[in-house]
Each structure stands twice: as structure tokens, then as C-alpha cells.
Amino acid sequence: MPRAVYVLALGIFTMVTSEFVVAGLMPQMADGLDATIPEIGYLITAFAAAMALGGPFLTVALLRMRQKSALMLLFGVFLAGNVLAALAPDYRTMLVARVLTGIASQAFFGVSLSLVFRVTGPAVRGRAVAVALNGLMLGTLLGLPISTVIGEHLGWRAAFWAITALTVLAALATLTGVPAVEGDADENGGLRRELGAFRSPRLWFTLTTSTFVIGATFSAFSYLNPILTGITGFSTGAVPLLLIGYGAATVVGNTVVGRFADRRTLPVLLIGLALNLAFLVGFALFAHLPVAAVPLMTGIGLVGVTMNPALVTRVQRVGNARPLVNTVHSSFITLGIIIATSVGGPAIDTFGLRAPLWVGAGLALLGLGTLLPDVLRRGAEGGTAEPETVPAAGRKTAPDLAGAA
């Protein structure tokens, strides 16, 4: 595995840690910024909205740059946002900081995944994507609890300074450990070429699968704390340990999915979504029983967000592996998080704490529905094997790949 893939994983870990830090420090930030807890919660929404809406536009602005140069510029924007957050004198300044970091984070994901494609061979691309996305999983497993501990003992501003230091480290590692791929600036330069992939209705349909997969998972993940304490009966002190177990499950699941993402993309997604649906329904039914709730919650970690390597592979086959397609795909993933949190919260007010789990089950069912056209297509073609390679931008567009995924 090229060293560059691990370096890119470090960058993704940095971005994800910054995304999650607010969730672990809500009371402290509310006191420090003279804001309410709901207002601090809006900072999470602002970050996600900035990712979903602003990331693709920033990616378009960077198309004529070499991808390594684009990453360094994005590190600069991200660094500025975190410094602004650490120094923020009031809530409005913090809001601006979160928007800046959100936009840079989304564009970074898109460019990074494109670079993973460029520096690896066809035989290992699925595993390479999984390694890079382990940065996301480790952000959940380690980044969130570590930043929370720093914030609790040294103040919430110290957590943002720690992320700032990590950003500098990741940028230096990228500068020395990621090659400047020849020809990438020329290929990035054609906006018309990048946009050509989006003429395919099949690509948009494929993107919605990712929205439902991630939405189903985050419907549960976003409310694990109140579910585990309010229904299952665990103490608040036990929840961090349970979340670490959940995070460890995502790392294991992501690694396993990465092994099969290239050659068994569709079966992996079908099995993963079906299992996630079963775990969500089981959790909703038996959340009051600790002996059942813990393994069911862990199961969601194993087969939820861990589908990302297969999702990325599928989208790249239908579209291409260029930065804009990858960034828009990340926006659709973020849309799933927004749907999960915006529907799950009101559902709790109306139906109780189990409601988000049923919302997640519904989204998983919709995700299975979006896979049916590919299942029928493969059946009509006699169950032919999935392709080993992903098209590069400018060489093939979605219409050239009909039936490939």
C-alpha cells in the first residue's frame, strides 16, 4: 500500500475530529460563548450544511490546480478556520469558523479520494479507499473522545488548538509524503469534462443510495447517548466506553468491506444494508434489554458507515474518480446525516426515544430499494462479475459504463 494513502488517512482523521469536537463540548462552549445548548447544536448543522453545499463549489474553484497543491490550499483554509474557532470571542465568529472548516473538509475528502485512485493500482483500490476512510472511523473512535478529554481538562479552546496542531502535522506529512502526480493539473482543468458525468440519471440514483445508507446509520448513532441511558438503563459514565466499542466495530467493518469492495461491490451493499436493517429493527424492539442492545448497537457499527468503501467504488464506476464526483458524493453522504438528525429529533418528541431507530430502519429499506435496478440489470446480464477498474475523468463518462456496477 503506498505511503500516500496513510498520509491522506491522517488528513481525513484531522477533518473528522474537527467535525465532531463540538458534540463533545456543548456545555463548555455554551458557557464560553454565552449561547444556549441548542445554539451550539446549530454549529454542527452549520458544519454539515457547509460541507454539503459549499464543498463542491470550492472543488470547482480548485480544478485547475494540481491535486497535491489543492490539498495544501485546503489545509490552509482549514487551519485558518480552526484558529478562528480557538480565538472566537462570540457565537457569530464561531459560526463563521465552522462554515470555513466545513467547506474545506468536504473539498478535502473529494480531492483525497481522487488521489487515492491515482496512486494505487486496480487490484488494491478498494482496500486503499478503506485505509483512507479509516481516518473517518478513527475520528469517531479516538478523535472525539480525545478532543473531549482535552476540552474538559484544559478548556474547549484548547481542543481547537490541539486540532490546529494536528492540522499542521497532517499538512507537513502531506507535503513530504504525497507525490505530485504528473498530468493531474491538465485533467483537472476541464470543468465541462468534470460535469459530463452528472448527465447520467443513473449516477444521481446511485448517489441517493449513499444518502440512505449513511442516513440510516446516523439515525441511530446521533441518539445513542439518550437511548442507552434513557431506555437501556446504562449510566452516563458507561456510555463513552460503549461508544469506543462502537467505534472499534466501525474500524473492523471498514477493513473487511475494503477487502471485497472492488469485486463484490453490489453484494457487499446488499448484505450490509439488509443486516443494518435487521440490527436497527432489533435495537428498536429490544433497546430495553442491555444483553440485546449492546450487540445490536455494535452490529450497526459493523455494517453502517463501514459501507463507505463500497459506496465510493460504486459511484466512481458509474461516474468517474475525479475530485468533483467524489466531493458531490460526500455531499450526498452528508445529506444523509442532515436527514437523520432533522427527522430523528422531531420524531423523538412525538414517538419517544426509539423513534430514530425506526427512522433508520425506514432509510435502510429505501436504500435497498435503490439497489434493485442494479440487481435486475445483473440478473438480465447473467450475473456477470463486476469490473476491476474505475474510469478516469475525461476518458469515459457514465453513459460509457452502462451496466458496469
- What is the DSSP annotation of 27-50? HHHHHHTT--HHHHHHHHHHHHHH
CA atoms within 13 A on the CB side of 178: 29
| In the block, residue with C-alpha cell 443510495 | 209
What stretches of 259-348 adopt beta strand conformation (E)? none
Quick: pLDDT tens for 150-184.
887 898 999 999 999 999 999 999 999 888 765 45
Higher pLDDT, 366 or 180: 366
Of 165, 56, 150, 160, which Cα lies nearest the Cα of 111? 56
Pair 55, 327: CB distance under 8 Å: yes
Whole-Å CA distances, 339 to 98, 108, 212, 334 = 19, 22, 9, 9
The pLDDT score that the predictor gives to residue 404 is 33
Pair 242, 294: CB distance under 8 Å: yes
Higher pLDDT, 185 or 404: 185
Give yes or no for residue 188 having a pLDDT over 60: no
Quick: pLDDT tens for 90-137.
999 999 999 999 989 988 988 888 888 788 877 777 778 788 878 877
Give yes or no for residue 25 having a pLDDT over 90: no
Q: Structural domains in the chain? A: 1-189 (1.20.1250.20), 194-405 (1.20.1250.20)
| In the block, residue with C-alpha cell 467505534 | 247
Q: How far is Cα of residue 268 from the mean position of the Cα atoms in its chain?
A: 18
Q: Note the pTM of the prediction, 2 decimals.
A: 0.76
> Helix (H, G, I), strand (E, B), or coil: what is residue 381?
coil
Region of residue 120 (phi > 0: left; psi between -120 and 50: alpha; otherwise: beta)? beta
Give yes or no for residue 296 having a pLDDT over 60: yes
Angle at 198 between CA 195 and CA 204, to 5 degrees: 155
The pLDDT score that the predictor gives to residue 184 is 52
What is the distance between the terminal CA atoms of the chain, rounded to a whole angstrom?
24
Quick: pLDDT tens for 28-71.
888 899 988 777 877 877 888 888 888 787 877 777 788 888 89
Region of residue 44 (phi > 0: left; psi between -120 and 50: alpha; otherwise: beta)? alpha
> Helix (H, G, I), strand (E, B), or coil: what is residue 321?
coil
pLDDT mean across residues, the chain: 83
User: Which residues lie closer than 8 Å to 345 by C-beta, 6 or more apart?
Assistant: none
Instruction: Estimate the crossing angle of helix 67-87 against helix 156-177, to 10 degrees.
Output: 170
Quick: pLDDT tens for 253-285.
988 888 888 788 899 999 999 999 999 999 999
Of 321, 315, 290, 281, which Cα lies nearest the Cα of 404? 315
